[in-house]
Chains A and B, each alone.
Chain A
Amino acid sequence: MSLDKDQVRQIAKLARLELSEDEYAESVEKLSKIVDFVDHLSAADTSGVMPMAHPLNVAQRLRADVVTEQNDRDRFQENAPAVANGLYLVPKVIE
C-alpha cells in the first residue's frame, strides 16, 4: 500500500517531527516501500496464534515499595537546555 503526502504529514505530526519539503518527498517514497515490504506479513496464517510481545515467558518482577533513589535533580539538570530554580523551562503554554 502506498502512502500519500497527506498521510506522511499526519504521521510526522503524530511523531512530533518537523520535516523539510525534500524530506517529505523522500519519506513518501521510502515509507511506501517499507509499508509494501511489511505487507508480506498478510500472507502468514496466524489464525488462533497468540501475539508475542516479549521473548521470554516471565512475569514482571516487582520490588518492595521503599525509597531507593536519592534526589539527584541538580546533577540531572546539568544536561537540560534551560532550567531555573530546579524547574525545566519551556515556551509559554497558558496565555
Chain B
Amino acid sequence: MTGLHAKTLTELKAGLDGGEFSSVELTQSLLDRIAAHDDQLNALITVTGDEALAAAERADDARAAGAGGVLNGLPIIHKDIFCTRGIKTTCGSRMLDNFISPYDATIVERLAAAGAVVLGKANMDEFAMGSSNETSYFGPVRNPWDRERSPGGSSGGSAAAVAARFSPAATATDTGGSIRQPAALTGTLGIKPTYGRVSRYGMIAFASSLDQAGVITRSAEDAARLLGVMAGFDERDSTCLDVPVPDYVAELGQSIKGLKVGVVRQHFDAGLDADCGARVKEAIAVIESLGATAVEVDMPNIDYSVPTYYVVAPAECSSNLSRFDGVRFGHRAGNVEDLFDLYCRSRGEGFGDEVKRRIMTGTYVLSAGYYDAYYLKAQQVRHLIADDFKRAFEKVDVIAGPTAPTPAFRLGDKVDDPITMYLNDIYTIGANLGGFPALSVPCGFVNDLPVGLHLVGHHFAESTLLRCAHAYEQATDWLAACPEGFA
C-alpha cells in the first residue's frame, strides 16, 4: 500500500473504517518510511517497530471483532519526554540514556487504550530546554524544509516527524513555546492546551507551573480528535483539573462569524521579521473575511514575558532536576570519592551545557539574598502579564499574532548566544505564564520556509482555537504543503 503517509489522521481513520487497508499495512508502510528517511532528519531517538506491529495486529483483530477505540489502529509518535513502559525514555539526555520506564504516562495509556499504535519516540531538546533541538544528547533534528536549518524546539523531533509524513501526529510538550514554535517552523499545527487540561503524570517535569502536554498534527480536526482522548481529569496529577471535556470534533464545524480577534500592537514591533509579519497580517485578513472582527489590543507588560520566564522556568527546573542524583535511576559517575562527589560528577557528566546553565540560573535566582529581587519579582510581573491577557479576553475571543519572530534559522546560528535563542519564544511564552491555551497553524511561506499564525484563547477555550484554525485551513491550503523529498 503506497501513499498512506500523505493522509491525515482523520483520512486514515476513514480508510481503516472503510476496510481500504489494515493497521498492519499502514504501520509497516510508515515504519519503512522512517527507516528510509530518518537518517536525514534524526527525528526519532527510538523506533518501536516490533511493538508497533504487535499493537497494529491487535487493532486489526479488535476491528474484525467489531471492537476498538476511537483511534483504533492509528499511528502516533511520542515525544521522548513521556514515560513509556518497557521502552527507553531519555528526555533527550545522557542522564536518562539507560532509563527504561517502569510505567506509562497517563496520555500514553489513554492513547493506547483508544487503539493508537506507537511508532517510536521523538528527539527533543534535552529535558525540553531549548528552541532549536540542538541541545539534544542525540544530536540536532533537521528541518524537512531545509536540512541545514533547525525544526525549532523543544519538540523538534515531533514536528519534523509530522512534517516529513513519518506519522500524521505526534505528542509534544510546551513550557514556553515548545509545541508551537516547532510547529510554525515546520509547517504543522501544534496545540498547547490550557494548563491543567491534560494530565502530566509520566511527563518528565521541567517547570511545573508552566509545562503542558499537547499534540502536533497536519490538521485542526486531527488535533481535536487526539485532544479529546488525551484531555480530562487524572487523579494521579494533582494539577489536572476536573473540567468536562467537550466534543472538540463536533464543535469544529461551528462558524466563526462574529468571533472577535485581538491583535496585539506590541507583537508587530521591530523584533518581527517583516515578511513573517506580512504573512500573519494576511492570515488575520482571511479570518476577518470569514466573518470575524479584528480588534487592536494593548498588552503593556507583554515585553517582560521573556525575562519573567527566564527566572520562573529555571527556578522550577533547578528544583525539579534535583531528583537526578545518580542513586535511584539515571547516569551514575564511576570511581567517586564520596556522596557529594557522586552527586556532582553524575550530574556534571549526565547533563548537557544548556541544562546546566538553566539549573545554575535557577539556583542563583532562588539563593539567599536574590530570591526577592528575582524570583518574587518575576512572580509579580507574571501576575501583570496574566492580567494583560485577562483584560484582553474581556474584549476578544482569541488573540492572533506571529508564533515566532523568524522562519526556521540555520543550525548553529543561535546556539552560542542564549539570549538570542531565548527570544525565539517571545510571542509564545505569555500563554504559558497565564496558563492559556494556544496553537500555531501554518499561514504561508517566506523564502520557501513555513510561517505560523499564533492563536491564544481564554482558559479552556481550546474549541474556539481549533474552530478558528479549522475555518482558516478550509479557506487556505498551507497545511497540505509538503517539503520537497517527502511527498
The stretch from B9-17, B52-60, B135-143, B363-371 touching chain A is B363-371
Per-residue interface assignment for chain A, residues 22 to 50, with 1 indicating a CB less than 8 Å from any chain B CB and 0 otherwise: 01001100110111011111101010011
CA distance A18 to B367 in the complex (A): 18
With A38-B307, A55-B209, A78-B100 known as contacts, the answer to whether A91 contacts B380 (CB < 8 A) is no
With A31-B357, A41-B307, A41-B311 known as contacts, the answer to whether A93 contacts B338 (CB < 8 A) is yes
Q: Is the CB of A79 within 8 A of B332?
A: no
- Measured between beta carbons, the chain B residues less than 8 angstroms from A23 are 353, 356
Q: Is the CB of B351 within 8 A of A17?
A: yes
Look across to chain B and name the residue whose beta carbon is closest to the beta carbon of A43: B304
Dominant SS at the B interface? helix
How many residue pairs link A and B with beta carbons under 8 A? The number is 171
Cβ-based interface call for A84 (8 A): no
Per-residue interface assignment for chain B, residues 316 to 342, with 1 indicating a CB less than 8 Å from any chain A CB and 0 otherwise: 001000100111111010001111111
Interface size for A (C-beta < 8 A) is 53
For chain B residues 298-323, which have a beta carbon within 8 Å of chain A? 301, 304, 306-308, 310-311, 318, 322
Look across to chain A and name the residue whose beta carbon is closest to the beta carbon of B236: A68
Cβ-based interface call for B384 (8 A): yes
Q: Is the CB of A34 within 8 A of B377?
A: no
Q: Is the CB of B238 within 8 A of A61?
A: yes
Look across to chain B and name the residue whose beta carbon is closest to the beta carbon of A36: B419
For chain A residues 5-26, which have a beta carbon within 8 Å of chain B? 7-8, 11-19, 23, 26
CA distance A50 to B382 in the complex (A): 10
- Measured between beta carbons, the chain B residues less than 8 angstroms from A56 are 195-196, 241, 435, 459
Residue of A26, A38, A53, A92 ringed by the most chain B CB atoms within 10 A: A38
Q: Is the CB of B378 within 8 A of A58?
A: no
CA distance A58 to B241 in the complex (A): 9
Q: How far is the CB of B134 from chain A (nearest CB, A)?
A: 15
Q: Is the CB of B344 within 8 A of A18?
A: yes
Q: Is the CB of A41 within 8 A of B304?
A: yes
CA distance A75 to B101 in the complex (A): 10
Cβ-based interface call for B235 (8 A): yes
CA distance A60 to B239 in the complex (A): 8
- Measured between beta carbons, the chain B residues less than 8 angstroms from A66 are none
- Measured between beta carbons, the chain A residues less than 8 angstroms from B196 are 55-56, 58
CA distance A61 to B238 in the complex (A): 6
Q: How far is the CB of A53 from chain B (nearest CB, A)?
A: 6
Look across to chain A and name the residue whose beta carbon is closest to the beta carbon of B356: A17
Look across to chain B and name the residue whose beta carbon is closest to the beta carbon of A83: B328
| Set B348, B361, B378: member contacting A17, Cβ < 8 A | B348
Q: How far is the CB of A55 from chain B (nearest CB, A)?
A: 3
Q: Is the CB of A38 within 8 A of B241?
A: no
Cβ-based interface call for A81 (8 A): yes
Q: How far is the CB of A35 from chain B (nearest CB, A)?
A: 7
Cβ-based interface call for A72 (8 A): yes
Cβ-based interface call for B412 (8 A): no
CA distance A33 to B386 in the complex (A): 26
CA distance A50 to B422 in the complex (A): 26
Look across to chain A and name the residue whose beta carbon is closest to the beta carbon of B354: A30
- Measured between beta carbons, the chain A residues less than 8 angstroms from B348 are 17-19
Cβ-based interface call for B37 (8 A): no
- Measured between beta carbons, the chain B residues less than 8 angstroms from A82 are 332
Cβ-based interface call for B347 (8 A): yes
Q: Is the CB of B356 within 8 A of A19?
A: yes
Cβ-based interface call for B224 (8 A): no
- Measured between beta carbons, the chain A residues less than 8 angstroms from B182 are none
| Set A12, A34, A78: member contacting B419, Cβ < 8 A | A34
Q: Is the CB of B359 within 8 A of A90?
A: no
Cβ-based interface call for B258 (8 A): no
CA distance A42 to B374 in the complex (A): 8
Cβ-based interface call for B47 (8 A): no
- Measured between beta carbons, the chain B residues less than 8 angstroms from A75 are 102
10 A-B residue pairs with Cβ-Cβ distance under 8 Å, sorted by A, are: A16-B340, A16-B344, A23-B356, A30-B418, A31-B361, A33-B419, A55-B209, A60-B238, A81-B327, A91-B337
Taking A7-B364, A17-B359, A42-B377 as known contacts, 17 extra A-B pairs with beta carbons closer than 8 A to each other, sorted by chain A number, are: A18-B349, A19-B348, A19-B356, A38-B307, A38-B378, A44-B304, A44-B381, A46-B380, A46-B383, A51-B380, A52-B386, A55-B434, A79-B99, A80-B329, A91-B336, A91-B341, A93-B338
- Give the top 8 A-B pairs by smallest Cβ distance, nearest first: A55-B435, A18-B348, A51-B379, A46-B380, A81-B332, A79-B329, A52-B383, A18-B344
